[in-house]
């Protein structure tokens, strides 16, 4: 059995990780750590754990490394880079849910996150954890940088076009909508019910921190720099990401041709569902699951491809993909513990 710890267990992502790991047949969830709530029953923070008897302990990276085979770090940016050292990685494997190891260039990280990167020595070892695209490297990794929810949708949606050099690198527009849980569990005015309900807004226009992560992922596919216009929106729902991605094509292509391309890339994937031509994804069909649904469209009048992706930001966009990465790292079936269908209605 794999012994697992969750650091940052009282946030939404930490709670989702604990939920998935608790009933994973190959895992013993030994440790739930938090800066707040030390010694308190976990059920006081998450009533869905009422029957479990789990207890929170103080955050201690060294102790977590000594006692566990894998640590999930579900903490704010800056925490992982300050605490994940070479000595920690000699003792355990780490999956960081935050942004600290997602970007290969620490200077770019510091610019976008306005935070000093304390893990420059460790950064080169990090493997980007978009499972379907980097599973070979993930399998051997000691440190995996779990992708952001917006970036999982956008990079997966556009990867085949850039890998095949069918997309023009300066033409990418990603319009994405997220549920409120993507903003975390902290109390803030902008997330209050009366502020969010019956409203839809764009935020972080031109400055959202997932922008360089999307650009780096697509640049890896193309082998050259890719610039992205990324605009996130907040919707009055708890969960879900819907990303509509527009890109100009280097040569004309119809919907059937694009669909065949995507089928070659994703047709055999366990958690990517390529919808039949003409069908568009909806967040309700992925809610609570680790699935990512993709719809492929050709706007032949403008010479653009329009790729639509839907996922649950808490599962495939965070905790579910982290468990998927853990399964790959430890040689378990990739869908172990995360094979559930969406919750409906």
Structure tokens at 339: 């094979």
pLDDT in tens, the chain (345 residues): 999 999 999 999 999 999 999 999 999 999 999 987 778 999 999 999 999 999 999 999 999 999 999 999 999 999 999 999 999 999 999 999 999 999 999 999 999 999 999 999 999 999 999 999 999 999 999 999 999 999 999 999 999 999 999 999 999 999 999 999 887 877 678 888 888 999 999 999 999 999 999 999 999 999 999 999 999 999 999 999 999 999 999 999 999 999 999 999 999 999 999 999 999 999 999 999 999 999 999 999 999 999 999 999 999 999 999 999 999 999 999 999 999 999 999
Cα separation, 131 vs 145, whole angstroms: 11
Contacts of 47 by beta carbon, 8 Å cutoff, 6+ apart: none
CA–CA distances in Å: residue 250 to residues 171, 247, 298: 10, 10, 13
Q: Is 149 a catalytic residue?
A: yes
Which domains, ranges and CATH numbers included, belong to the chain? 2-125 (3.40.50.720), 150-313 (3.30.360.10)
Q: Please, what is the Cα angle at 294 between 288 and 299, to 5 degrees?
A: 145
Cα separation, 162 vs 141, whole angstroms: 25
Give bridge partners of residue 144 from the DSSP assignment: 95, 127
241-252 exposure pattern, b = at least 16 Cβ within 10 A, e = fewer:
bbbbbbbbbeee
Cα separation, 236 vs 192, whole angstroms: 10
Cα separation, 272 vs 135, whole angstroms: 14
Structure tokens at 294: 């993709």
Residue of 149, 155, 180, 221 marked active site: 149
């Amino acid at each position: 059995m794999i012994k697992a710890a969750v650091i940052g267990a009282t946030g939404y992502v930490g709670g989702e990780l604990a939920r998935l790991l608790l009933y994973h047949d190959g895992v013993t969830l030994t440790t739930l750590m938090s800066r707040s709530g030390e010694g308190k029953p976990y059920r006081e923070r998450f009533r869905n754990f009422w029957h479990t008897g789990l207890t929170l302990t103080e955050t201690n990276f060294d102790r977590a490394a000594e006692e566990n085979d894998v640590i999930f770090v579900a903490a704010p940016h800056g925490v992982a880079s300050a605490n994940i050292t070479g000595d920690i990685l000699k003792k355990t494997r780490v999956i960081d849910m935050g942004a600290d190891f997602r970007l290969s260039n620490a200077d770019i990280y510091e610019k976008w996150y306005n935070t000093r990167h304390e893990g420059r020595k460790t950064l080169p070892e990090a493997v980007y954890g978009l499972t379907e695209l980097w599973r070979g490297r993930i399998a051997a990794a000691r440190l995996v940088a779990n992708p952001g929810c917006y970036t999982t949708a956008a990079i997966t949606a556009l990867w085949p076009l850039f890998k095949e050099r069918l997309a023009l690198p300066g033409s990418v527009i990603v319009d994405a909508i997220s549920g409120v849980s993507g903003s975390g569990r902290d109390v803030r005015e902008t997330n209050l019910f009366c502020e969010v309900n019956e409203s839809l807004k764009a935020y972080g226009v031109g400055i959202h921190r997932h922008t360089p992560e999307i650009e780096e992922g697509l640049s890896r596919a193309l082998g050259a720099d890719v610039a992205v216009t990324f605009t996130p929106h907040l919707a009055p729902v708890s969960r879900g990401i819907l990303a509509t991605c527009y890109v100009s094509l280097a040569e004309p292509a119809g919907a059937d041709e694009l669909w065949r391309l995507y089928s070659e890339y994703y047709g055999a994937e366990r958690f990517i569902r390529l919808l039949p031509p003409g069908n568009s994804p909806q967040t309700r069909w992925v809610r609570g699951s680790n699935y990512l649904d993709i719809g492929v469209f050709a706007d032949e009048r403008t010479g653009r491809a329009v790729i639509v992706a839907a996922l649950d930001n808490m599962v495939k966009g965070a905790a579910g993909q982290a468990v998927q990465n853990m399964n790959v790292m430890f040689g378990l079936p990739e869908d172990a513990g995360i094979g559930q269908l969406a919750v409906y209605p």
